[in-house]
Amino acid sequence: MADIPISHILFVSTALFFIGMYGLFTRRNMITVLMSIEIILNSVNINFVVFNKYLYPDRLDGIFFTIFIITIAAAEAAVAIAIIINLYRSHRSIDVESAEEMKY
């Protein structure tokens, strides 16, 4: 385990982050957008865990944060899906562009 260099893991998390980012920017379907956000969050989680492990092995702050983020992500997903369902009810679509008029 110890012989996996930190750079590898960071590479994975960066890749995940940008994949999520790409999805966030380009996807039209709100569910996919939501999934992209989850991916971003998970890449952050990986970062937290990795830095905790490699830099401060004797402390647990990073891991706590991870758990915290997972919890919030769950709540957030619930809220987001509620919004999406409502949007679907009113617009018969879960395309992000159909939510455009909310700027008014």
Binding of another protein by 25 (CB under 8 A):
yes
Number of residues that bind another protein (CB under 8 A): 13
Alpha helices, H only, the chain? 6-26, 30-55, 61-91
The smaller minimum CB distance to another protein, of residues 27 and 53, is found at 27
* Integer Cα distance of 62 and 48 in angstroms: 5
Binding of another protein by 79 (CB under 8 A):
no
Binding of another protein by 35 (CB under 8 A):
no
The smaller minimum CB distance to another protein, of residues 20 and 62, is found at 20
Residue 5, CA distances (Å) to 13, 51, 88 in order = 13, 12, 46
The smaller minimum CB distance to another protein, of residues 49 and 95, is found at 95
In this structure, what are the phi and psi dihedrals at residue 39, rounded to the nearest 5 degrees? -60, -45
Query: Which residues would be at the binding site for another protein (CB under 8 A)?
Result: 21, 24-26, 33, 96-97, 99-104
